[in-house]
Amino acid sequence: MIDSATAAITSLSTPIRWPLESRWLELLEHWTSARPMNGHREGLELVRQDLTRRLEGIGFEVHAHTRPDAQDVLVAVRPPSSGTVWVGLFGHYDVKSPGEGWTTSPIKPTRKDDRIFGRGLADNLGPLALRLLALEAAGDLPGLVWVIQGEEEIGSPWAHTLYPTLELPPVALWLEETGYFEADGTQRLLARHLTPATTALVNDLRTLAAADGRGLQTHDRYLNKAFGQDRCPCLTWLVGQTPYLAIGPNDTRSRIHAANESLPLATLDLSARQFLEVLRKAAAWH
């Protein structure tokens, strides 16, 4: 599987823009082929176990919160390597069923026209894998607490029960599972409850976007949720009034929950660099 994925990339003429792009595609092929959707518990378990192993491999202590009738919620904690600040991340490892209308395989990532197509790549396996791989090469980091659930696509019943009871470190900034780019390539940065430190951080992200030839527009709102913001367990029970940023590789053509869901390759490198920049700067906060 991994060899064929690598061959599929290297056989194309478009250069790899993100140094870890080939490994990212390998990981996505492994995850999407497992079909981690509700109704297919074996696939969810495979992805969850692989995710746990990879998190532990980069220094996280992973706590699995279980219930017999639910998919595990993973709470991964990694103490600060410098300073005392904690950054929170959240996401999910389940994907929606493919449905009809695909022109590529929904369970095998397919590269076409500088995009990668497959079910769950935009929501949320692609951004999840990007951050996981980016952390492998990170230096000094703040404390990280990463909450990852497996029932987002069915309304998060276990998360809504569990999250109010979680005892987490004092998070200074929460990062949404992904972000967005407009059709013209401008980055749409969603930011809420900003402090002077996080406002300076937004300016740093704007500088990185400009170096990538992109504008950056900020919006004082949360990422849209298909089931409504007031029903998102992360926004309801975790974020609260804590500073919040949404950054990530998705764009207006990603077609979440629709046929031919995809991610653009052109946003991967910037998204990874911005993610690490957020963590580096947060590590220096007091």
- Mean pLDDT by runs of 10 across the 286 residues of the chain is 34 58 96 96 98 97 97 97 92 96 96 95 98 89 97 96 97 97 97 96 97 96 78 94 98 97 97 96 91
3-state secondary structure of 108: coil
3-state secondary structure of 230: helix
Per-domain boundaries in the chain: 2-283
- Strand pairing class (110-112; 171-175): unpaired
Which alpha helices (H) appear in 93-229, and where do they start and end? Answer: 126-136, 157-162, 196-211
Please state, in angstroms and rounded to a whole number, the distance separating the CA atoms of residues 93 and 131.
Answer: 13
Q: Do 85 and 285 meet the contact criterion of CB atoms below 8 Å apart?
A: yes
3-state secondary structure of 157: helix
pLDDT at 2: 31
Q: Do 151 and 71 meet the contact criterion of CB atoms below 8 Å apart?
A: yes
Q: Do 177 and 222 meet the contact criterion of CB atoms below 8 Å apart?
A: no
| CATH superfamily placement of domain 2-283 | Zn peptidases (3.40.630.10)
Q: pTM of the full predicted structure?
A: 0.92
